[in-house]
Amino acid sequence: MNNTSLKTHAALAVMMFMQYLLVAVWWVPMAAYLTNTGIEGGMKALILSSMAIGSMASPIIGALADKYFSAQKVLAVSNLLTALLLAGTGFIQNPIAVFILIFVAMICYMPTWSLTGSIAMTHANPELFPRIRMFGSIGWVVSGLFSLLAVPFGVKIFDGGNLPFLCGSVLALIAAALNFTLPDTPPAEKTSKISLRKLLGLDALSLFRDKNYLLFMACSFAAVLPFTLYFSFCSEFLQDRQFKYITVTMNWGQLAELIFLFFTTTIMTKLGIKKAIVIGIAAMVARYLAFYWGVLTDVNAWYIIGILFHGLIFGLFFVGGQVYTDKKAPKALRAQAQGMLSFILWGIALICGNFISGKLIMVNTTVDAAGTTVYNWATIYAVTTIFTVIVLLLFILFFKQEKEEPKL
């Protein structure tokens, strides 16, 4: 058990708050910005996929922290580079240049999700990580205040303009400075010889020798495929259902995330990792059932209910998976293991899920005689629900309860 001082706990909480605040302020209105600057089609899709592509660099950044440099220094440098790239994006509107800058910025930024998790679980009990990660969700929600604060200064368009990039750049600079004040997290297995295998984080693949972890990763990968229908396409769904305030509506999910992250530690402690993840996947099933029933009954309240399930899904499935990965990984591979998890779920699975969900929507969409696009959301969510139920059953049947249960 790690005895975490109040000062250290506060530093870790601030780290999480800043790390998610600095990205949400510009990433959330990204699609509107691209539309307003005339970036459409394939280029728009590429830029919006940069988050998933950036996640694929996580194992490399994790390897740097595990083998060569202190993790808090790697985090600080990543944020500094992100700040410079976002500043450039704020002043350039050329589509190719925007793509390159955002693409490189996400390669620098996205690995910090797993890196901050590794730092937090090094200096605090892994079971307490959800409560530390909760401050990242607070940062995400607080980012919405920037558009309101811009009004007194006469800013007519904040969301959809270039100011979010500049705000993100300043926040990234502040985060970089604060990162140097974090407790030292030196490499667990420092080596002077640079190995391509170590640099690519391939040592973390040794976790797959554990059949239980391999099954966990396979089921997690499969569960993320339908998850993208919410993560990437929910705005399209809500727009079709005549919601006017889409961002505000989806923020209910972030607020639910705040609440459930506080209780995630207690749930994992009382029930264990397997039951916690089962509840997280079951919450996905409940979300799609709520959306399906909302379409059949044409009652918008069911969509809100489905969105609120985001708290359980994120807290028990995604964060629970991070905690489980930290427990399974040797000390020398913790950052790499978190990077590998991010690479597979937020990288490969997210990209695959985007294409699959996009295809599912396309084949269930028609255009009527009046030229109006008609979605068959009932079929879309029925397919998604059935697929997620299969993943849930496979996990319940074949994932073995770990002998060592988390203890506070």
Angstrom distance (rounded) from CA 77 to CA 106: 14
408 located within any domain: no
What is the DSSP annotation of 37-51? TT--HHHHHHHHTHH
Residue 269 and residue 299 in one domain: yes
| Residue range(s) defining the domain that contains residue 2 | 1-187+194-200
Say whether both 172 and 242 belong to one domain.
no
Closest CA to 288 of 365, 351, 345, 223: 223
86 phi and psi, to 5 degrees? Answer: -70, -35
Residues 36 and 149 in one domain: yes
For residues 15 and 29, what is the distance between their CA atoms, to the nearest angstrom? 23
Q: How many CB atoms lie within 10 A of CB 268?
A: 26
Q: How many domains does the chain have?
A: 2
Question: Closest by alpha carbon to 324, among 388, 260, 251, 274?
Answer: 274
Identify the band that residue 322 occupies on the pLDDT scale cut at 50, 70 and 90.
confident
Query: How high is the mean pLDDT of the chain?
Result: 84
Asked whether residue 167 is assigned to any structural domain, the reply reads: yes
| Tokens (6 digits) for 377 | 């959301």
**Is residue 248 situated within a structural domain?**
yes
CA–CA separation, 244 vs 303, rounded Å?
14
Same-domain status, 236 and 350:
yes
Among candidate residues 143, 177, 200, the one where a domain is terminated: 200
Residue 251 has pLDDT above 80, yes or no: no
8-state DSSP, 156: S
**Together in a domain, 176 and 213:** no
Q: Is 341 within 8 Å of 298 (Cβ atoms)?
A: no
Residue where one domain finishes, among candidates 139, 169, 200: 200
| Domain match, 83 and 164 both | yes
**Assigned token pair, 234:** 């929910």
175 and 226 together in one domain? no
- Which pLDDT does position 346 carry in this prediction? 84
pLDDT band at residue 406 using 50, 70 and 90 as cut-offs? very low
Q: Is 407 within a domain?
A: no
Residue 115 inside a domain? The answer is yes
**3-class DSSP string for 316-328:** HHHHHHHHHHHHH
Residue 55 near residue 340 (C-beta atoms within 8 A): no
34 has a pLDDT exceeding 60: yes
Residue 129 domain flag? yes
Q: For residues 14 and 62, state if they share a domain.
A: yes
Q: What is the arithmetic mean of pLDDT over 62-75?
A: 80
**In this structure, what token pair is assigned to residue 316?**
């028990």
138 and 6 in a common domain: yes
Structure confidence by residue, pLDDT tens digits, 204-241: 888 899 999 999 999 999 999 999 888 877 877 887 88
pLDDT of residue 147: 73
CATH for 118: 1.20.1250.20
Lowest mean pLDDT among 117-131, 318-332, 377-391: 117-131
Indicate whether 405 pLDDT > 60: no
379/385 Cα distance (integer angstroms)? 10
Residue 301 has pLDDT above 70, yes or no: yes
Residue 406, domain member (yes or no): no
Asked if the model's pLDDT at residue 255 lies above 90, the reply is no
Residues 246, 161 within the same domain:
no
Structure tokens of 265?
């530690």
Q: What are the tens digits of pLDDT across the range 79-105?
A: 999 999 999 998 887 888 888 999 999
Q: Is residue 294 part of a domain?
A: yes
Asked which of 176, 200, 224 is the last residue of a domain, the reply is 200
Are 256 and 132 in the same domain?
Answer: no
Decide which of 368 and 276 is more confident: 276
Q: How confident is the model at residue 402 (pLDDT cuts 50, 70, 90)?
A: confident
Q: Find, among 400, 17, 384, the residue nearest to 171 by Cα.
A: 17
Mark whether 157 and 227 lie in a shared domain.
Answer: no
